[in-house]
């Protein structure tokens, strides 16, 4: 929806100008975005409806704000979309700097904050104050599955676009029908889920509860990494390799992407079954385990020995020390079995 709104705020770019020159709308993004963004852009690009610049991340999975800003084409770029936090590596992206510059250039800026809510600040009066559109997803912070929201800054579509008032929801809306959501997404609203989203947000923000949750999750995540490292240390000093930023202020507190050298993550997941909730790479792409290296790990340049053995583990506000120890034991035992059977 965010991508459609940006494009339809600049419909003049879909047609030749007075000199007959065609200039397709241009979008800037990173090369580690969630498929919800990446697959939409790829489809529009394949249809030759837009041009896209995919700005690469570094080895920690973080994109350079300067590189993103320099990729903007004045008069052609209609949207910069950059996730706040990566769903696999947990890396936090420099959305504040990018958003501020986009506001100066009057280019729409969208951030996918799905992974970030309840773990790091998602504040429109703070770090996200320059964002035009922000995506949040309910089940990431305690609401029912199947409900999400897109914040659209009032007036931004007029400020950053050239269109007739109201045209963006009459042309190419996400779902056509009865005209709900101001025509942007028709269909009867799911009121219980909407209420659940609001209530979950209230509980999360009351007395800054999310900060306590984040501190607890970071302790559990660190304990998980330390436990795996200790359990497998006798097999070699380089068996366990965490992926993503080493600086805790540059990553989510709950996410651990860890590569196990000499391990096949798909085999490991099959072996541990329902004993531990884990995935190979991102949980959203677990059906692809074993077929190919995760695009995120590939973009980060993670060595193949570790990428093929990477697990994506998450902890939550209710995760206990006992659960972490159980997970460490189950994962380490199967990893040890694979490593020693090869050697």
Residue 20 CB neighbour total at 10 angstroms: 6
284 is catalytic: yes
> How far apart are alpha carbons 249 and 214 in whole angstroms?
12
> How far apart are alpha carbons 228 and 225 in whole angstroms?
5
Close Cβ partners of 22 (under 8 Å, ≥ 6 residues apart): 15, 16
Given the residues 40, 102, 156, 284, select the one marked as catalytic.
284
> How far apart are alpha carbons 83 and 134 in whole angstroms?
9
> How far apart are alpha carbons 270 and 250 in whole angstroms?
32
Rounded to 5, what percent of the chain is helix, strand, coil?
45, 15, 40
For residues 219-237, one letter each, b for 16 or more C-beta atoms within 10 angstroms of the residue's C-beta and e for the rest, the string is ebbebbbebbbebbeebee
> How far apart are alpha carbons 286 and 243 in whole angstroms?
17
Check if the beta carbon of residue 279 is closer than 8 Å to that of residue 289. yes
Q: Report helix, strand or coil for 230.
A: helix
Angle, helix 321-342 to helix 209-232, in steps of 10 degrees: 30
**Cα-based torsion angle of the residue sequence 212, 218, 224, 227 in order, rounded to the nearest 10 degrees:** -100
Q: Report helix, strand or coil for 5.
A: helix
Active site residue ranges: 284
């Amino acid at each position: 929806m965010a991508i459609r709104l940006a494009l339809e705020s600049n419909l003049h770019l879909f047609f030749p100008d007075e000199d007959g020159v065609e200039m397709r709308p241009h979008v800037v993004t990173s090369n580690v975005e969630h498929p919800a963004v990446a697959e939409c852009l790829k489809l529009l690009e394949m249809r030759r409806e837009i041009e896209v610049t995919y700005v690469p991340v570094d080895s920690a999975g973080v994109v350079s704000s300067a590189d993103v800003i320099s990729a903007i084409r004045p008069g052609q770029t209609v949207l910069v979309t950059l996730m706040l936090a990566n769903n696999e590596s947990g890396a936090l992206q420099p959305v504040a700097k990018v958003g501020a510059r986009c506001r100066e250039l009057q280019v729409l800026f969208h951030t996918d904050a799905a992974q970030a809510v309840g773990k790091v600040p998602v504040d429109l009066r703070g770090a996200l104050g320059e964002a035009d559109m922000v995506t949040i997803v309910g089940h990431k912070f305690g609401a029912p599955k199947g409900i999400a929201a897109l914040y659209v800054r009032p007036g931004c579509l007029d400020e950053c676009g050239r269109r007739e008032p109201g045209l963006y929801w009459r042309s190419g809306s996400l779902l056509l029908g009865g005209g709900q959501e101001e025509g942007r997404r028709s269909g009867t609203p799911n009121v219980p889920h909407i209420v659940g989203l609001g209530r979950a947000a209230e509980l999360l923000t009351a007395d800054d509860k999310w900060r306590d949750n984040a501190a607890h999750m970071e302790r559990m995540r660190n304990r998980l990494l330390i436990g795996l490292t200790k359990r497998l240390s006798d097999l070699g000093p380089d068996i366990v390799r965490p992926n993503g930023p080493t600086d805790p202020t540059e990553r989510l507190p709950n996410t651990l992407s860890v590569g196990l050298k000499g391990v096949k993550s798909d085999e490991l997941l099959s072996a541990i079954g329902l004993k531990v909730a884990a995935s190979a790479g991102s949980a959203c792409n677990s059906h692809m385990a074993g077929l190919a290296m995760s695009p995120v790990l590939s973009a980060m340049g993670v060595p193949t020995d570790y990428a093929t053995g990477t697990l994506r583990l998450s902890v939550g506000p209710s995760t206990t020390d006992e659960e972490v120890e159980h997970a460490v034991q189950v994962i380490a035992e199967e990893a040890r079995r694979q490593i020693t059977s090869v050697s």
